[in-house]
Structure 1
Amino acid sequence: MRIAMLRANPKLSRFDPLPRIICHDEFSRGHCGWSQLVGNYENDIGTMLPGYAQHTSAMLSTLAHWDAGSHGGHDSSYALKIATRPKKGAQNVAIKRLTFRKRCPIRLEFYFTFKPEATELKLSESDVRSVGFLFDLQGGDRDDDSQRVMPHIRFLNALEGEHVQKWQFKRHNAEFTPIGTSRKTLSHYHLSPEGWEDIPGGAQRLCYNEIPTKVNWTYLRFDFDLASMQALSFQCNDRAFDMSGFDSIRIPAMKNLWCMLNIALFAETDTDKRVFLYVDSVCISGDF
């Protein structure tokens, strides 16, 4: 009965959720809780690390472009738009901040596409450096094994003008930096360019249409177990990848982040041009 109900709903049947849907975000309804990733600061917002200071708010977009008006989303007018600044290496991040009520398997699914700003009459397929996602997780306050665990995955589309097209992960953290003078606030920019590793067999050519304004939507699924704090599986379109060598950034639990379940989406440019990660819809599900 459950499967029949899911398949009868065209907005949910595109996903394969676990038994309980935690959230189903359609951006025709608004931002659905996705906001700017703001770095830690103390007394003065200028104490924020530069990596975070470059971030701006995610926008709702009709995927407007100059040659045919608006592309629109997967099956509505709007998608979430994460746009970088027009500076080589610039990044932007949108985050959804949740907590969990049981350490169990969870699943992230979403449809996405990416493009540089169409300022030239050419394909510009190597202008986007990377797009990706991450979780920021921490166990409960009475768990014996609580850590802050941060699985990161990115699609490295291009680097220094070379069209690379492969999936990578990150397990080594940037150093923590004290913020302010009270010794109460620390910060670390975990999306720094250092430390990315290739997922075995992770080369993949994604659909990237023939002119700078066309887009095609891509499906992504990531499964993670909150009990063991280990990745279970990763799929993009028709490809499932070997996660046996995957690991996450792991740091000691922090005193005020218990049961944290944060999800973030990010984009990065490889040229002095804005690039856009568009996300049509997101489904986060679990077994609790």
Structure 2
Amino acid sequence: MRLATLRADPDLSRFDPLARIISHNRFSTGHGGWSQLVGNYEDDLDSMLPGYAQHTSPMLSTLAHWEAGSHGGYDSSYALKIATRPRKGAQNVAIKRLTFRKRCPIRFETYFTFKPEATDLKLGETDVRSVGLLFDLQGGDSDAHAQRVMPHLRFLNALDGEHVQKWQFKRQSTEFRPLGTSDKTLSHYHLSPDGWEDLPGGNQRLCYNEIPTKVNWTYLRFDFDLASMQALAFQCNDRIFDMSDFDSIRMPAMKNLWCMLNFALFAETDTDKRAFLYVDSVCISGDF
């Protein structure tokens, strides 16, 4: 009965959710709780680390372009747009902030596409450096050995003009820096360009259409267990990848982040033009 109900719903039948749907965002109906990743600061906004200071708010977009007006979403007029600044190496991040009530397997599914800003009449297939996702998780305040755990996964599309096309993960972050004078606020920019490792067997060629205004939607699924704090599975389109060598950024639990369940999506440009990550919809499910 449950499977029949899901398949009868055109908004959900494209996903394969676990037992309970925690969140289902169709960006044709609004932002759905996805907002700008604002860096920590204290006393002065200028105390924010530069990596965070470059971030801007995600927006709702019709995927406008010059030939036909707009592309639209997967099956509606709007998608979430995460746009970098027009500076080589610039990044932008959108985040959804939740907490969990059970340590269980969770599944993150989305349909996405990416492209550079179409500022000239050529393909630009190497203009976007990377797109990716990360979770920011922490155990509960009663856990004996709680950690803050941050799985990171990115598709490195290009680097310095070379078309790379492979998936990478990260288990190292930059050092924490204290902000202000109260000894309460710390910050680290975990999306720094250092420390990325290749996912074994992670080379993949994604659909990237023939002119700079065309897009095709790509499916992604990432499974993670909140009990063991380990990745379970990763799929992109028709490829299912071996995650046995995958690991996450790990650190001691922070004093005010108990049961944190944050999800983030990011984009990075490889040229002095904006990179766009478009997200049509996201389904987050679990065994709650």
**What is the TM-score of this pair, normalised by structure 2?**
1.00
1:242 aligns with 2:222: no
Query: Which position in structure 2 is the counterpart of 1:166?
Result: 166
Note the C-alpha offset of 1:181.
Answer: 1.6
1:183 aligns with 2:183: yes
Note the C-alpha offset of 1:101.
Answer: 0.4
Measured in 2, the distance between the counterparts of 1:67 and 1:77 equals 16
Would you identify which runs of 4 or more consecutive aligned residues in structure 1 move more than 4 Å? none
Q: Output aligned runs, 1:218-233, within 5 Å.
A: 218-233=218-233
The two structures, once aligned, show a CA RMSD in angstroms of 0.4
Unaligned runs of 5+ in 1: none
Query: Which position in structure 2 is the counterpart of 1:131?
Result: 131
Query: Which position in structure 2 is the counterpart of 1:91?
Result: 91
The amino acid that maps onto 1:168 is Q
**Residues 224-273 of structure 1, C-alpha deviations (whole Å, 9 max, x = no match):** 00000000000000000010000000000001000000000000000000
Measured in 2, the distance between the counterparts of 1:280 and 1:243 equals 26
Measured in 1, the distance between the counterparts of 2:59 and 2:177 equals 30
1:198 aligns with 2:198: yes
Measured in 2, the distance between the counterparts of 1:132 and 1:203 equals 15
Q: Output aligned runs, 1:10-89, within 5 Å.
A: 10-89=10-89
User: Any idea what SS the aligned residue of 2:201 has?
Assistant: strand
Measured in 2, the distance between the counterparts of 1:284 and 1:145 equals 26
Measured in 2, the distance between the counterparts of 1:18 and 1:145 equals 27
**What is the TM-score of this pair, normalised by structure 1?**
1.00
Note the C-alpha offset of 1:67.
Answer: 1.1
Measured in 1, the distance between the counterparts of 2:181 and 2:3 equals 55
Measured in 1, the distance between the counterparts of 2:40 and 2:104 equals 29
Measured in 1, the distance between the counterparts of 2:3 and 2:183 equals 52
Query: Which position in structure 1 is the counterpart of 2:156?
Result: 156
Measured in 2, the distance between the counterparts of 1:106 and 1:174 equals 27
Note the C-alpha offset of 1:145.
Answer: 2.2
How high is the sequence identity, in percent, across the aligned residues?
84
User: Any idea what SS the aligned residue of 1:3 has?
Assistant: helix
Unaligned runs of 5+ in 2: none
1:269 aligns with 2:243: no
